[in-house]
Structure 1
Amino acid sequence: MSTAKQDIIAVEAAAEKEPCLETSVPRKAASFRQLLLRFIVIYWRSIVVITWPIVLSPIIIYNNERMYRCLYVVAMMAVYWVTEALPLPITSLMPIFLYPIMGILSTTDTTKCYLNDTTMMFLASLIIAVAIEHSGLHMRVAFLIIKVVGCGHRRLSFGIFLVTMFISMWISNTAATAMMIPIINTVLMEMENQGLGAMFIEDKDDFENAEGGEPAKKPTRATMTYYMIASYASSIGGTGTVVGSGTNLTFKGLYEGRFPHSPGINFSEWMCYAVPPMLICGFLIWIWLQIMYMGMFRPNSKDAQDINIGREGEKIAENVIQQKYKDLGPITWHESCVAILFVLVIFMWFFRKPGFVPGWPTYITSMPFKDSSSAIFVTLLMFIIPANLDFLNSFSKDPSKRPTKPTPGLISWKLIQTRMHWGLMFVLGGGFALSVGSTDSGLSTLLGNALTGLRYLHPVVILFIVCFMAEMITELTSNVAIANIILPILAELCVSIKLHPLYLMLPASLCCSFSFHLPVGTPPNAIATAAGHIKTKDLVIAGIGPSVITLIVLTIGFPTWGSVIYDLHEFPDWANMTMSTKS
């Protein structure tokens, strides 16, 4: 243990001791060094907030050009984001004040960044996800898929992986993980009650969290597998659609904002590219967890024997899933309507500009039509369509059947206010503001020119380095914050070395979602480790496989399969056009 930690512990212990009566020993006075360390530990966020702008001040003192003033704001927000010294949404609002006051962008131009097409797409997709959760449709889909796959440990874990990955394509990764944890708990607890394996065992080496002198509990290796599956599958599944993760929409907004003459990012192309790597990564990660913790290819190992529950155990698990499904009752009008609208919005997204046939908007309007318009249309329908059919009894002869209050819609504004992640909208806007300010002030060109030395490396090598760095950095802080910091830099790097901007930006945005080693890396990791009592060292070890798998698949997959979906072979004219326009 370091000396600093020893000093802090000593101070804490001294503070907690109560003086006895006349026989008490005088408390030892804490040294100034101990008090200073304790002060720093308690107030380090405030210290960062106050001192970091002062530390950065030489940037604008040395050169007060517009691009260096923008660099000052970018550097300040980057550290605030990474350390979370201030809440992410609050940090994201800083350009609204700093840009106009420092002469970087006007207030009007800055605030436009906070509610653009991508932000509206994000808002509407979140509302649709809340409607799916509110109706219970996601639970019905989950139990149906698990029933089809089967309930042996290998098949059950595979089914949970598929379900979590699929649901995470449409709702937030956090919500997908939180939804699957109770299902996992119920199945494992029922098996344990029937004597078919234990969820947790005594951890005789860890008394730190023990209660009443009893040894602490730790998950079995099979139990750890299920909780890690819930976390990893949600992170992988979130890359499958452009609305599946905040980092995907961050990339879309930054890319289309920096390259306004580009074809943009549409839903169908994203799915055609991202779903195959998602499935490959998901299957390989499931195999990795099976080999590590469930004895796959090692039939005589203890891990393999522990999960061999036989037909009796499978029957118990099937009964649990069957009962859970019965508890949902028959499918309701509410669920049916949400399901139909969900399929409708996917259809509208996918066939807006599918590439192989004319998009459906071309038959209706000649105006540019984006995916956010489709999402808002379905959102409006969710407020209009009633959640039940009670209104049909308004003229019933039986007074008891007549409704006494208006029929609510499929979703309500009150529900949105309580369930929406409003803060992420500001984080997206803050990232877009940094991108626009950096480009308009010339900072992006400065950074791009500083990285031109990479032009002598093979593009695949550059891609590997970028993906590796993105995966490592995102282990320590918010995925969206990291995407906001690195994607504008990668855009300028691509322009400087004459490489298609998608070549680095799209894989990097996906890698920002791949946090597998630390609980703080992403909310799904935190939820799974807390629910499963998984130690950080176990998560670090388990995450080695997923990190290597995703890194290899993306490094190989995007230059090959990505080139089939996107024309990556040549540096596009619209990137040159954008660069000359901004200059």
Structure 2
Amino acid sequence: MLLSVAYSANIGGTGSLIGTGSNLVLKGLMDDLFPECTELTFATWMLYNVPTMVICVFIGWIYLQFSARKAMRGPSSGASEEKVREEISRRYHDLGPMSFAEWCVTFLMTSMILLWFTMKPQVFPGWVEMIPNGKLIRSSTPSMLVTFLLFVIPKNPRKPGGRAIITWREASERAQWGIVILIGGAMCLAEGCKQSGLSAMLVTHLKSLDALPNLVTVFVLCFAASMFTEVTSNTAVSSILLPVVCEMAIAIGVHPLYLAMPVTIGCSFSFMLPAATPPNAIVYELAKLKIPDMAKPGFFMNMLCVAVEVAMIHAIGFPIFGLGTLPEWARRTVTTVSSTAAPNATDAFTLPTVLTALNYTQPT
């Protein structure tokens, strides 16, 4: 049961653009590298990833029910299960009715999600297209509006002059500032690669990957991301891999999201080690598991979920994101990278050319 909670928590973060830090890294990186990209929105993300999430959760349930359960579950009785149900019911009743502040937070969060979803849904005109200067509105606008209201609406309207639903001290102490720093670091890394000439070098040398089938490339990258995130946070892994993956996609002539989306989702498929995600660590401690007890079923879950992701990017990713061709905004990015990195270079970038453009002198 505890493993099922950890698996579903990891998989559930893929269903929404705000579900986990790696998703935000991809969105921020796409907005920074490809500002003309309109394919990646809150609506298109959910249209693609919610079905994938549901399939992965169902596969995880099947696997734990009929495979891992036999190896890990000890004998149980109906009496113990009844005690669990009674405890859950008692804790639920102890919560009591929802307060005014809780209703406000529920309403504001629902409104924010609806504003995100209908902002640029692609399937019908979004609300930003119906207002003047709608192009100036970014994805952060609904969240900033909701945040402002949380600082203004009183927690208890019957007590004039009372505190708001949230205070600055609570926000500053509980906000995940590390994710903000990592996203900013990913953007700086991408810009540094472009300005230093590393992007141009990657575009040249990664063209050899044309010899590999795209299906193999996607599977290898997605599986590698799921393995890397077993030993560090998914946000850190995505911050390192995604700038390189976007350049790789341009080098082999495919849509950047064709490689970047599976890598981003693969960063959430970390089921093997306690250090991979907080849900894994909590379950590892509560259940008093050993590393092999968690690693064996986790490895098979990694493989199964990566296979599902690779299948779904080809099944529904192509029509939702238009992955069939390299978009014009990506072609212009190639030209920009080339002209920025080495202005006097020819069509083919080589290491000596880039080093010369950077005024690099080889030591004797």
TM-score in terms of structure 2 length: 0.88
Match of 2:138 in 1: 370
Separation in structure 2 between the aligned mates of residue 556 and residue 457 of structure 1, nearest angstrom:
17
Residue 379 (1) aligns with residue 154 (2): no
Q: How does 1:291-302 map to 2 (within 5 A)?
A: 291-295=66-70
8 Å CA contact 1:256–1:265 kept in 2: the answer is: no
Change in Cα spacing, 1:482 to 1:560, as seen in structure 2 (3 Å) is same
Displacement of 1:353:
1.1
Change in Cα spacing, 1:523 to 1:302, as seen in structure 2 (3 Å) is closer
Deviations 1:356-405 (A, max 9, x none): 221122233333122210110011111111111223xx6xxxxxxxxxxx
Residue 575 (1) aligns with residue 342 (2): no
The percent identity for this pair of structures is: 36
8 Å CA contact 2:269–2:306 kept in 1: the answer is: no
Displacement of 1:302:
10
Residue 452 (1) aligns with residue 207 (2): yes
Equivalent residue in structure 2 for 1:463, among 218, 226, 229:
218
Change in Cα spacing, 1:316 to 1:502, as seen in structure 2 (3 Å) is same
Q: How does 1:324-363 map to 2 (within 5 A)?
A: 324-363=91-130
Deviations 1:528-553 (A, max 9, x none): 21222111111111202211111110
Q: How does 1:381-460 map to 2 (within 5 A)?
A: 381-391=149-159, 406-460=161-215
Q: Which sections of structure 2, spanning at least 5 residues, go unmatched?
A: 340-364
Displacement of 1:351:
0.5
Deviations 1:467-525 (A, max 9, x none): 11111122122221211111111111111111111100011011112111111222221
3-state SS of 1:273 partner: helix
8 Å CA contact 1:252–1:265 kept in 2: the answer is: yes
Residue 498 (1) aligns with residue 253 (2): yes
Q: Which amino acid aligns with 1:254?
A: L
Q: Which amino acid aligns with 1:365?
A: P
Q: Which amino acid aligns with 2:154?
A: P
Change in Cα spacing, 1:573 to 1:361, as seen in structure 2 (3 Å) is closer
Change in Cα spacing, 1:302 to 1:434, as seen in structure 2 (3 Å) is closer
Equivalent residue in structure 2 for 1:249, among 7, 10, 24:
24
Separation in structure 1 between the aligned mates of residue 307 and residue 247 of structure 2, nearest angstrom:
25
Separation in structure 1 between the aligned mates of residue 19 and residue 109 of structure 2, nearest angstrom:
14
Separation in structure 2 between the aligned mates of residue 256 and residue 339 of structure 1, nearest angstrom:
29
8 Å CA contact 1:449–1:493 kept in 2: the answer is: no
Equivalent residue in structure 1 for 2:52, among 277, 301, 315:
277
Separation in structure 2 between the aligned mates of residue 315 and residue 530 of structure 1, nearest angstrom:
24
Separation in structure 2 between the aligned mates of residue 264 and residue 375 of structure 1, nearest angstrom:
20
Separation in structure 1 between the aligned mates of residue 172 and residue 307 of structure 2, nearest angstrom:
41
Q: How does 1:91-490 map to 2 (within 5 A)?
A: 226-263=1-38, 265-295=40-70, 303=73, 306-307=75-76, 309=78, 315-368=82-135, 369-391=137-159, 406-490=161-245
Equivalent residue in structure 1 for 2:265, among 497, 502, 510:
510
Q: Which amino acid aligns with 1:440?
A: Q
Displacement of 1:346:
0.8
Count of residues in correspondence between the two structures: 337
Deviations 1:316-359 (A, max 9, x none): 33322221111111111111111111110011000011122211
Q: Which amino acid aligns with 1:286?
A: W
Q: Which amino acid aligns with 2:40?
A: I
Separation in structure 2 between the aligned mates of residue 421 and residue 492 of structure 1, nearest angstrom:
29
Displacement of 1:307:
4.1
Deviations 1:239-261 (A, max 9, x none): 11111110001111112212222
8 Å CA contact 2:223–2:303 kept in 1: the answer is: no
3-state SS of 2:134 partner: coil
Displacement of 1:313:
5.1
Separation in structure 2 between the aligned mates of residue 283 and residue 327 of structure 1, nearest angstrom:
31
Q: Larger radius of gyration, structure 1 or 2?
A: 1
Match of 1:172 in 2: none
**Stretch moving more, 524-533 or 558-567:** 524-533
Separation in structure 1 between the aligned mates of residue 14 and residue 118 of structure 2, nearest angstrom:
20
Q: Which amino acid aligns with 1:285?
A: G
Separation in structure 2 between the aligned mates of residue 483 and residue 423 of structure 1, nearest angstrom:
14
Separation in structure 1 between the aligned mates of residue 47 and residue 133 of structure 2, nearest angstrom:
26
